[in-house]
Amino acid sequence: MLAESARGFLDADAPVSKLRKMRDDGKTHDPELWAEMAAMGWCGVLVPEDNGGVDMGHAAAGVIAHELGKTLAVSPFLSTAVMAATALKQVDSAASAERLSAIAEGRLTYALALDETSKFAPENSQLACEKSGNGFRLNGQKSFVVDGGFADRVLVLARSGEGPEDLTLFDLPADRAGITRNDQAMIDSRNAARLEFDNVDATGDDIIGAAGDAMTVLRPALQAGQAALSAEMTGLAAGAADMTVGYLKERQQFGRPIGSFQALQHRAAHLWCEMEVTGSAILHAGRMLDSDPGNAAMAVSLAKARAIKTAKLAVIEGVQMHGGIGMTDAFDMGFFMKRARVASEWLGDYGYHAEQVADARGF
Amino acid sequence: MSWATQDPESFRQSLRSWLDTHCPQAMRDGLNTEATICWGGKNWEFTSKHQKLWMQNAAEVGLTTPRWPAAYGGAGLSREQDKIYLEELARINARMPLLSFGIWMLGPALLAFGSEAQKQKYLPQIIRGEQRWCQGYSEPGAGSDLANVQTKAEDMGDHYLINGQKIWTSYADKADWIFALVRTDRDAPKHKGISFILIDMESEGVSTRPIQLISGASAFCETFFDNVKVPKENVVGEVNKGWDIAKYLLTHEREMISGNNQGLTSGRPLGAVLAQTAGEERLSDASLRAAAMECEIDALSVGLTLERYKDQAEAGAGVGDASAMLKYMGTELNKQRYELMMSAGGSEAIDTDGAHGDLAMDWLRSKANSIEGGTSEVMLGIISRRILGLPG
Ligand SMILES: Cc1cc2nc3c(=O)[nH]c(=O)nc-3n(C[C@H](O)[C@H](O)[C@H](O)COP(=O)(O)OP(=O)(O)OC[C@H]3O[C@@H](n4cnc5c(N)ncnc54)[C@H](O)[C@@H]3O)c2cc1C
C-alpha cells in the first residue's frame, strides 16, 4: 500500500522528466518536492512518534527508496530522513530530539561528510580534530558529500587520535565559519560537494555521541543508508527494465517485434531473475535492521553488493537493447545509467561490500 | 509425539533432545553427496547400520517428510517448524535421513491430485523409505519438448496396455515404481492427450538398460515398456489431464534441484568449504577469492529468495512460473560453486584417488543440474513468455 501511494505520487510529481528539467535548469535540489514528501510523512519514516515522526522502520524506508529510484526522483531522503535521522536516534539529548522533529517536518536537511579519497573508507578519515582551549579545531577536506551543496547541517567524521577507530562525529551547521563548500558536478545531475575545513571551531556540544567513538553512532546510520540506497538501486533497475521490456514488445525489426527473438528474450529473462533475487536480499536487509540491528551488517552488505550488480546489468542491457536510441540524451535510459554509477560508489562499492560479506562468512 | 502443536521455542528444544538420542554420531559429518545419500527402497543396501538406524528413527516420527500430514505418517510440521528442523540438522551437521523422488516429486503430486486410496497406498511407504520411485518423463523425442511424449497407453477395458520407451530415467534399475507420462489420446492436441500413471517396475514387460555418465556412474537408464499391463486405478487425476500434474510436479522438481545450492539456512559458507579444499585458513589467491565472494553473495541471495517463496506459498500465494527462476539461478550457481571448489583443490581435486577424489565426481554431476528437470534455456523461455509476456 505504501508502495502504491508512493508510486502514484512520484509518477505525478517527480517523473524522470523532472530530473531532466532540473538538469537543464542547472538545479540539484527541489525544496517544493521535499516539502510534499514531508507532508506525506516520508521525512519522518524513521523518526520516533514522540519526535513527530511516523516511525515505520527500515523496511518501509526501503519501500519508499525503491519507488524514488524508479522515477529517479531527486531529494535528500537518504542523507536526511534515513542516515541523519538514524544517527540522531542513537543519542539521547535535547538537541537531537529537536533536530529529529525538524527532520520529520521537513525543516532541516543533512549531508554526511565522510569520504576524503575516491573510495568509501570512513575508518581512514584524516580530517584533523585538535583540542583547542575548551573545544576543538577542525582542519582538512571531504569530497563526494552527497547533498552537501545545500544541506543545512553536516555530520562530519574527524580523526581525534592515532588508533584506527579514534574518530569523532560532529554535527555542524553547514555555514559554520571556516567551512567552504564547492559543488562537485556529479554525472547523475544530483548534488554533491567538496568541503574544506579551515580552522573550524567546534565545542563538545557539537559532538554527536561520545568523543573518540564515532562509529557507535555512525555505523547504524551507514547501514540504514546502505540498505535504503540498495532499495533505491533496485527501484532504478526496475524502472530501466520496465522500459526495456516495453520496448521489446513494441519495436519492430525484420517484420516482427524484437521481443520475439530468443537471444533478447533470454537476456531479458536473465535480468528479471537477477532483480527477483536481489529483491529478496533488500527485503532481508530492511527486516534485519528492524528486528535485529546488531546483527544486520552482513545482510546490508549483501543487499548493497547485489543491488550494484543488478542495477549495472539493468542499465547496460537497457541501453544495448534500445539500440541507437539508448545512447541519446533525449531518451531517459542514460539518466538511469548515470544514477546507477553514482549509487554504486556511494556508501561503498561492490568490492567493499563483498569483503564485508566474506568477513562475516569466514573467508 | 505431537510436535505439530508446539510453539517454535519448545519445538526447538524437544527436537534438540530428540536428535541427541536419535541421530547417530556417524551421521553427523555434513555429507550429503551422491555417494552418501540414503535413497531407500526395497533393494536398498545400507552403507552402515547407522544409516539404517537414522532413516528408521526419522521415519518413525515422520521427519523424513517433515511437512506431510500426520495422517499418512508425515510429521505435519508448519513452515516455521520445518525451518527450525533444517536449522537444527545443520547445527549438528547431520545428513538428511532419506532423500527420494518419492519425497521430492511424487508425494507432493499425490497430495494435490491423488485419490484417497492412492495416498493411503503409496505415501506411508515413501515416508518409511520402503518404496523407491523413478521419473518416466523424457523420451528420445521428448526432452525439452516434453509434451511430445509418445509412449502409448491403450485402454483395454479393465487395464491399460503400455508400449514405448523412456530415456534418462535416473535410477530406473534400482526403483520399485515409476511415475510416467503416457499418451492416452493420439488425436487430441499435444498437451491434452497425456495421462499421469504409476507403474510397478516388476510388471512383466518392463526392462531397463543403464547409461554411463561422464562421472563414470551409471545413474540413468533407458526404460522400455513392452505390452505392460497396468490397472486403471493407477492413473492419477483425470485421464488425458496428466499434463497439469506433470507441470505441478515439475515445479517441485525445480525447487528441489535449485535448493541444492547452499542458501542461508542450508549450508556451510563457501569460504569454509574452499579453505578446506585448498588446505588453507584463508583464501589468498586474489582471483579465486573474488570469484568466491561473488558466488557466495549470489548464493545467499538465491537462498533468501527460496525462503521468501516458501513463505509466500505458505501464505497461500503460489509461486508458479517463478520456480523456473529458482531452478535457473540455483543450478547455474551450483555449477559455478563446483568450478571454484575444483580450482581450490588444484591437482588434488583431479586425482580420483586423492584426498578430494569425490569432489571431481560431484563436480561432473553438477553439470547436469542445468539440464535435468528442464534446461536453463527452457527456464528462460518460461520466464520471458509467461512472466515478461514477450511474444512467442
Ligand atoms: C542427470 C540427469 C538426470 C535426469 N533424470 C531424469 C529422470 O529421472 N527422468 C526423466 O524423465 N528425465 C530425466 N532427465 C532428462 C532431462 O529432463 C532432459 O535431459 C532435459 O529435459 C533436456 O532434454 P534433452 O536431453 O532431450 O535435450 P534437448 O531438448 O534435445 O536440448 C538440447 C539443447 O537444446 C536446447 N533447447 C531445446 N529446446 C530449446 C528451445 N525451445 N529454446 C532454446 N533452447 C532449446 C536445450 O536447452 C539444450 O541446450 C535427466 C537428465 C539428466 C542430465
Residue B264 predicted with pLDDT over 50: no
Q: Which residues pair with B182 in a beta bridge?
A: B195
Radius of gyration of chain A (CA): 21
Asked if the Cβ–Cβ distance from A280 to B308 is below 8 Å, we say: yes
Which carries the bigger pLDDT value, residue B273 or residue A53?
A53
CA distance B216 to B218: 6
Residue B390 has a CB neighbour count (10 Å cut-off) of 24
Ligand 1 atom nearest residue B140's Cα: 26
Cell of A187: 554525472
Name the region of A15 (left: φ>0; alpha: ψ -120 to 50; beta: rest): beta
Q: Which residues pair with A157 in a beta bridge?
A: A169
Residue B282 predicted with pLDDT over 80: no
Q: Where are the alpha helices (DSSP H) in chain B?
A: 8-22, 49-60, 79-91, 101, 107-113, 116-127, 242-259, 270-278, 286-314, 323-345, 347-350, 357-366, 376-382
Cell of A252: 519492430
Residue in chain B nearest A356 by alpha carbon: B293
Residue B261 predicted with pLDDT over 60: no
Tell me if B214 sits within 8 A of B364, measured CB to CB: yes
Tell me if B368 sits within 8 A of B323, measured CB to CB: no
pLDDT band, very low/low/confident/very high, at B263 (cuts 50, 70, 90): very low
Tell me if B74 sits within 8 A of B108, measured CB to CB: no
pLDDT digits 0-9 by tens, A65-98: 999 999 999 999 999 999 999 999 999 999 999 9
Residue in chain B nearest A258 by alpha carbon: B391
Residues of chain A contacting residue B271, judged by C-beta atoms under 8 Å apart: 358, 361-363
* pTM of the predicted protein model: 0.93
Write down the mean pLDDT value for chain A. 97
Asked if the Cβ–Cβ distance from B388 to A268 is below 8 Å, we say: yes
Q: Where are the alpha helices (DSSP H) in chain A?
A: 2-13, 16-25, 31-39, 58-70, 85-89, 94-104, 214-250, 262-291, 297-321, 333-345, 350-360
**Residue A266 contacts B, CB cutoff 8 Å:** yes
Which carries the bigger pLDDT value, residue B349 or residue A328?
A328
* Shortest-distance Cα residue to atom 29 of ligand 1: B144
Q: What share of chain A has pLDDT > 70, as a percent?
A: 100
- Look-up: residue for cell 553473495? B297
Q: How far is CA B116 from the centre of its chain?
A: 24
Residues in chain B whose Cβ is within 8 Å of chain A = 269-272, 274-275, 282-283, 289-290, 292-294, 296-298, 300-302, 304-305, 307-308, 322, 325, 328-329, 377, 379-381, 383-385, 387-392
Asked if the Cβ–Cβ distance from B293 to A357 is below 8 Å, we say: yes
Please indicate whether residue B9 is annotated as part of the active site: no
pLDDT band, very low/low/confident/very high, at B265 (cuts 50, 70, 90): very low
CA distance B310 to B255: 10
pLDDT band, very low/low/confident/very high, at B281 (cuts 50, 70, 90): low
CA distance B253 to B330: 12
Residue A24 predicted with pLDDT over 60: yes
Residue A264 predicted with pLDDT over 90: yes
pLDDT digits 0-9 by tens, A215-246: 999 999 999 999 999 999 999 999 999 999 99
Q: Which of residues 234-263 of A touch B (CB under 8 A)?
A: 245, 248-249, 256-257, 259-260, 262
Mean pLDDT, residues A302-312: 98
CA distance B236 to B204: 21
Residues near ligand 1 with C-beta < 6 Å?
A: B 134-138, 143-144, 168-170, 220, 368, 371-375, 377-378, 381
- Please give the pLDDT value at position B90: 87
Mean pLDDT, residues B295-315: 90
End-to-end C-alpha distance for chain B, whole angstroms: 53
Mean pLDDT, residues A16-21: 96
Give the distance (Å) from ligand 1 centre to CA of residue B131.
26
Tell me if A136 sits within 8 A of A202, measured CB to CB: yes
Tell me if A58 sits within 8 A of A230, measured CB to CB: no
What is the least distance, in Å, from the CA of A133 to any CA of chain B? Answer: 48
* Shortest-distance Cα residue to atom 24 of ligand 1: B143
Q: Is the ipTM of this complex over 0.90?
A: yes
Catalytic residue among B139, B253, B255, B332: B253
What is the least distance, in Å, from the CA of A243 to any CA of chain B? Answer: 12
Asked if the Cβ–Cβ distance from A260 to B392 is below 8 Å, we say: yes
- Among the ranges given (A240-254, B159-173, B188-202, B251-265), the one the predictor scored with the smallest mean pLDDT: B251-265
Residues of chain A contacting residue B301, judged by C-beta atoms under 8 Å apart: 277-278, 280-281, 302, 306
- Please give the pLDDT value at position B1: 58
**Residue A268 contacts B, CB cutoff 8 Å:** yes
Mean pLDDT, residues A107-111: 98
* Shortest-distance Cα residue to atom 51 of ligand 1: B372
Tell me if B340 sits within 8 A of B292, measured CB to CB: yes
In this complex, how many residue pairs, one in chain A and one in chain B, have their CB atoms less than 8 Å apart? 110
Write down the mean pLDDT value for chain B. 91
Mutation test residue for ligand 1: of B101, B135, B138, the one with most atoms within 8 Å of CB:
B138
pLDDT band, very low/low/confident/very high, at B356 (cuts 50, 70, 90): confident
CA distance A251 to A246: 9
Residue in chain A nearest B298 by alpha carbon: A306
**For residue A334, how many C-alpha atoms fall within 13 Å in the half-sphere facing its CB?**
15
- Among the ranges given (B51-55, B91-95, B168-172, B215-219), the one the predictor scored with the smallest mean pLDDT: B215-219
Asked if the Cβ–Cβ distance from A362 to B269 is below 8 Å, we say: yes
Q: What share of chain A has pLDDT > 90, as a percent?
A: 98
Mean pLDDT, residues B130-139: 97
- Please give the pLDDT value at position B266: 45
Asked if the Cβ–Cβ distance from B383 to A354 is below 8 Å, we say: no
Burial (CB < 10 A; 0-12, 13-18, 19+), residue B324, is: buried
Residue B11 predicted with pLDDT over 50: yes
Give the distance (Å) from ligand 1 centre to CA of residue B241.
23
- Please give the pLDDT value at position B279: 66
- Please give the pLDDT value at position B270: 80
pLDDT digits 0-9 by tens, A28-74: 999 999 999 999 999 999 999 999 999 999 999 999 999 999 999 99
